[in-house]
Amino acid sequence: MVFSTIIFLCIFLPVVILSYYLVPKQGKNLFLLICSLFFYAWGEPVYVLIMLASIIYNYLFGLAIANHKKAKPYLVLAVLVNLGVLCVFKYSGFLVENIDRIIPNLLKVPDIALPIGISFYTFQGLSYCIDVYRDKKLVQKNPVNLALYIAMFPQLIAGPIVRYSDIRQELSERKHTSEFFALGAERFIIGLSKKAILANTVGALATNIMSNDMQYMSLPVAWVGAIAYALQIYFDFSGYSDMAIGLGKIFGFHFAENFDYPYISKSIREFWRRWHISLSSWFRDYLYIPLGGSRRGNVYLNLLIVFVATGIWHGAAWGFLLWGLWHGLFLVLERVLTKQEQKDAALSKTGRIISQTFGRVYTLFVVLVGWVLFALVDVKKTAKYLMVMLGIKRNAFVAYDVSYYFDKKTLLIFVIALFACIPWKNILKKTGANQTFMFMVSKRLVLLVLLALCFVFIITGSYNPFIYFRF
């Protein structure tokens, strides 16, 4: 994994960027498509055929939907085929395992490997077909353009989920400027730093704690493990999203933001407006609203359906389903109670501060408990971990205290990661400090240092997973 990352950063990426700008305008999409297929085939030499099949049948479904007055049957078929392929590769083993528990030896559990990024490019294909059904003018007749939309390597294997309608124009005509290139490079370095420096370090800490025997774990250690995992998944995924958005800018595409400092949220509702924005907005527009949203049917049932689907989207395990249901239940609870904004408006300044502080503490508590479900997946392991974490079970013998898991480097990066969850750039923007000449020079020097540090961490580190690759 480390060797592949170095090859990608030192050879593949610079060659692709340089060649892209040398290729004539009319050949840029084809060039990017070839690079994207090569990039995917590097890690998935067999399953690249599944992605090619997804491109072909979504292209044909789009044409069928656009060219027939009675397009609904074609849309239904497109949804069934896309979800069917996803179910076969992602959920068939899980379904058979659970059937086998009820009726032993009825079916053989299939040994099917999960293609990297299948959830992401399947949802992009679905969004294309649904967008064309809603507006037939959006149909893409150029197969290269549609293939590039589905297979584009910057966001192919871990998002963000890009809407076809958002980049349709840029697939045909886009601008390339030195400003976009500079902003893209800056964003890529920030994303790489989040991943290589922060996520990998706190991720190793989380793994060390969560993989230990819980009957010898103390309450503080359990909390540190949960917090470390929360930091890991945030900087891992937001880092990848930043890299994708940055590369998109370099190639002339503008991908929507995917994270907006979710750990400062004052409610679970706000958390989902800030966390994995492309997924939550996808489910809102393509599932929640078609179900009736808050205007038709039972809004609470609609919310629970959406968040059960959100959990299942992440993986074929009861832990993911319960994680989605956990968030859905608190969203329902928040809807039942008076809206936070209305309560804050009626409070004094001191009352608002107290209310918002409570909201942040409550939200972090719910999110951290949810991350334990998400990280451990296994329901029994999760229950044991949460019993220790919440003080329900106090172990008589504790193998290691918190200090055992921290060396100086890990402690420093853990603290930096905590502070990096706060939107300091917004604070600087309000003061105007980010517009000074010294700030701009310092920022570029810091970026160069961060890039160098990333290579050091990647080369010397042995822990380098991308959590969302498995989804």
Together in a domain, 164 and 202? no
Rounded Cα gap, residues 196 and 464, in angstroms: 7
Whole-number pLDDT of residue 8: 67
Q: What is the mean pLDDT of residues 247-263?
A: 92
The pTM of this model reads 0.90
Does position 425 have pLDDT exceeding 80, yes or no? no
Rounded Cα gap, residues 470 and 199, in angstroms: 16
pLDDT, tens only, 2-30: 446 556 666 788 888 899 999 998 899 99
- 256 and 277 in contact (C-beta within 8 Å)? yes
Whole-number pLDDT of residue 12: 81
Neighbour count for residue 36 (Cβ, 10 Å): 21
Which residues contact residue 373 at a Cβ distance below 8 angstroms, ignoring those fewer than 6 apart? 319, 320, 322, 323, 326, 382
Together in a domain, 148 and 185? no
pLDDT, tens only, 117-150: 888 889 999 999 999 999 889 899 999 999 999 9
**How many domains are contained in the chain?**
2
Measured CA angle at 421 (ends 186, 419), to 5 deg: 100
Could you tell me the two tokens for 323? 């994680």
- 129 and 61 in contact (C-beta within 8 Å)? yes
Which residues contact residue 428 at a Cβ distance below 8 angstroms, ignoring those fewer than 6 apart? 434, 439
Active-site residue flag, 314? yes
Does position 383 have pLDDT exceeding 70, yes or no? yes
Whole-number pLDDT of residue 365: 96
Together in a domain, 167 and 307? no
Whole-number pLDDT of residue 158: 66
Whole-number pLDDT of residue 457: 86
Does position 84 have pLDDT exceeding 70, yes or no? yes
Together in a domain, 139 and 228? no
Q: In terms of residue numbers, what domain contains 461?
A: 180-470
Rounded Cα gap, residues 271 and 365, in angstroms: 12
Which among 176, 254, 276, 314 is annotated as catalytic? 314
Among 175, 208, 227, identify where a domain stops: 175
Rounded Cα gap, residues 377 and 229, in angstroms: 13
Whole-number pLDDT of residue 322: 93
Does position 428 have pLDDT exceeding 70, yes or no? no
Q: How far is CA 207 from CA 62, 182, 224, 228, 375, in A?
A: 44, 36, 11, 9, 9
Sequence letter at residue 177: T
As a whole number, the mean pLDDT across the chain is 86
Q: What is the mean pLDDT of residues 296-307?
A: 87
Q: What is the mean pLDDT of residues 155-172?
A: 83
Rounded Cα gap, residues 281 and 294, in angstroms: 15
Residues 324, 330, 332, 334: what is their CA dihedral angle, to the nearest 10 degrees?
-150
Show the DSSP H helices in 315-432 as ranges: 318-336, 340-346, 349-376, 379-389, 408-420, 424-431
pLDDT, tens only, 321-361: 999 999 999 999 998 886 555 555 556 667 777 878 888 99
Together in a domain, 87 and 190? no
Together in a domain, 139 and 187? no
pLDDT, tens only, 191-227: 999 999 999 999 999 999 998 888 888 999 999 999 9
Helix%, strand%, coil% for the chain, nearest 5: 75, 0, 25
Whole-number pLDDT of residue 438: 73
Does position 460 have pLDDT exceeding 90, yes or no? no
Neighbour count for residue 379 (Cβ, 10 Å): 14
Whole-number pLDDT of residue 465: 65
Asked whether the bond before 160 is cis by omega within 30 degrees of 0, the reply is yes
Together in a domain, 215 and 293? yes
Could you tell me the two tokens for 96? 């058979």
Neighbour count for residue 268 (Cβ, 10 Å): 25
Sequence letter at residue 17: I
- 257 and 195 in contact (C-beta within 8 Å)? no
Q: What is the mean pLDDT of residues 43-57?
A: 88
Which residues contact residue 322 at a Cβ distance below 8 angstroms, ignoring those fewer than 6 apart? 311, 373, 379
Dihedral sign of CA atoms 173, 150, 249, 271 in order: positive
DSSP letter assigned to residue 255: P
More confident residue, 398 or 168: 168
- Closest alpha carbon to 37 in 21, 26, 27, 50: 50
Rounded Cα gap, residues 49 and 402, in angstroms: 47
Together in a domain, 374 and 462? yes
Rounded Cα gap, residues 39 and 48, in angstroms: 10
Together in a domain, 208 and 316? yes
Whole-number pLDDT of residue 467: 66
Whole-number pLDDT of residue 368: 96
Together in a domain, 263 and 224? yes
Max mean pLDDT among 97-101, 335-339, 388-392 falls in 388-392
Together in a domain, 294 and 441? yes
Whole-number pLDDT of residue 154: 81
End-to-end CA distance of the chain: 18
Among 175, 201, 224, identify where a domain stops: 175
Rounded Cα gap, residues 417 and 411, in angstroms: 10
Does position 248 have pLDDT exceeding 80, yes or no? yes
- Closest alpha carbon to 274 in 266, 47, 337: 266
Could you tell me the two tokens for 29? 């999409």
Neighbour count for residue 7 (Cβ, 10 Å): 12
Whole-number pLDDT of residue 393: 84
Whole-number pLDDT of residue 469: 58
Together in a domain, 189 and 168? no
Give the lowest-confidence range in 53-62, 80-89, 151-160, 165-174. Answer: 151-160
Q: Nearest 5°: phi and psi at 399? A: -70, -45
DSSP letter assigned to residue 26: G
Whole-number pLDDT of residue 133: 93
Could you tell me the two tokens for 458? 């990647």
- Closest alpha carbon to 255 in 171, 338, 368: 171
Among 146, 175, 204, identify where a domain stops: 175
